[in-house]
């Protein structure tokens, strides 16, 4: 399963990329707004840091605007994936951009039928938002199971990019289903790195080493 980071924060991107964890990045207008600065500069910088796919989202809601913006976004780097919303105009833009070899991520997917239609339009990725479904009392992970089954039944090449992930259990559940990609907020990836027994175990190792050194002050590794 690929891991993308769901952020436009350059420090977080560099931090996790240096650990070799990142296969790509997803951004959206809310994440861009949170970081401030000139979005064009931030987007270009992200495409330079990360080798894998970087999703950059259009803000137009009608077809021709989406196409113009999508083609401009592609110039920010060779690894740009144009993100369009799950609307009729979004799917029309997805079809045109995909037919010209520009990869598209269809975002704001909340049902299996929406995922099916986005795949039919030629999307490289569909982004179901599981946390937002959980928030309204629907089962986000169940949606991933449904999409996985449908895409497997018909050998769709479209990849399931699980978004709106809120905690590490979402990640384990998505991996067990066989989702292609999870996109994680930095805070979730931080939590996945940690376990209290790792912390306690390391503290014990270091304190035992100090005891050994107390008897042999010149000891070194």
Identify whether 34 is a catalytic site residue: no
Q: How far is the CB of 6 from ligand G3P (least distance, A)?
A: 5
Separation between Cα atoms, residue 114 and residue 209, nearest integer Å: 57
Of 55, 8, 11, which Cα lies nearest the Cα of 36?
A: 8
Question: 9-19 burial, b if ≥16 CB within 10 A, otherwise e?
Answer: beebbebbbee
Q: Facing residues of 81 across strands?
A: 55
* Binding status of residue 105 toward ligand G3P by CB under 6 A: no
Name the maximum alpha-carbon separation found in the chain: 76
Per CB under 6 A, 131 contacts ligand G3P: yes
Residue 7 sits in the site that holds ligand G3P (CB under 6 A): no
* Ranges within 17-56 binding ligand G3P (CB under 6 A): 26, 28
83 bridge partner residues: 57, 105
Of the residues 83, 92, 95, 191, only one is catalytic, namely 83
Q: Which of 92, 95, 120, 132 binds ligand G3P (CB under 6 A)?
A: 132
* Backbone angles phi and psi of 2, in degrees to 5: -80, 150
Interactions with ligand G3P, residue window 143-172 (CB under 6 A)? 163-164
Q: Which stretch binds ligand G3P (CB under 6 A): 15-23, 67-75, 129-137, 204-212?
A: 129-137
Beta bridge mates, 105: 83, 125
Interface with ligand G3P: number of residues (CB under 6 A): 9
- Report in angstroms how near the CB of residue 83 gets to ligand G3P at its nearest: 8
Instruction: Please state the closest distance from residue 159 (CB atom) to ligand G3P, in A.
Output: 15
Question: Virtual CA dihedral for 55, 61, 64, 69, nearest 10 degrees?
Answer: -30
> Which of 5, 6, 74, 89 touches ligand G3P (CB under 6 A)?
6
CB of 141 to ligand G3P, least distance (A): 14
> Please, is 63 exposed, middle or buried when counting C-beta atoms within 10 Å of its C-beta (0-12, 13-18, 19+)?
middle
Give the separation between CA 186 and CA 188, rounded to whole angstroms: 5
CA 12 to chain centroid, in Å, comes to: 13
Stretch that binds ligand G3P, among 12-20, 87-95, 127-135, 193-201 (CB under 6 A): 127-135
Which listed range, 41-49, 125-133, 147-155, 212-220, lies at the site for ligand G3P (CB under 6 A)? 125-133
Q: Which residues bind ligand G3P (CB under 6 A)?
A: 6, 26, 28, 129, 131-132, 163-164, 183
Active site positions, annotated: 83
């Amino acid at each position: 399963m690929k891991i993308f980071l769901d952020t436009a924060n350059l420090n977080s991107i560099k931090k996790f990329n240096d650990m070799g964890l990142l296969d790509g990045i997803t951004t959206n207008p809310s994440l861009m707004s949170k970081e401030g600065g000139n979005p064009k500069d931030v987007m270009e910088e992200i495409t330079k840091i990360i080798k894998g796919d970087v999703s950059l989202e259009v803000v137009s809601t009608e077809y021709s605007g989406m196409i113009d913006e999508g083609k401009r976004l592609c110039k920010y780097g060779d690894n740009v994936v144009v993100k369009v919303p799950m609307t009729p105009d979004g799917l029309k833009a997805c079809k045109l951009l995909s037919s010209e070899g520009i990869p598209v991520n269809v975002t704001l997917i909340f049902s299996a039928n929406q995922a099916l239609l986005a795949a039919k339009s030629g999307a490289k990725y569909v982004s179901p938002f599981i946390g937002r479904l959980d928030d309204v009392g629907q089962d986000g992970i169940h949606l991933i199971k449904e999409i996985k089954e449908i895409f497997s039944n018909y050998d769709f090449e479209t990849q399931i990019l699980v978004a709106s992930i809120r905690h590490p259990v979402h990640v384990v559940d998505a991996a067990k289903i066989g989702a292609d990609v999870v996109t994680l907020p930095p805070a979730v990836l931080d939590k996945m790195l940690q376990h209290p027994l790792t912390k306690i175990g390391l503290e014990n190792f270091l304190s035992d080493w100090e005891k050994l050194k107390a008897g042999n002050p010149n000891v070194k590794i």
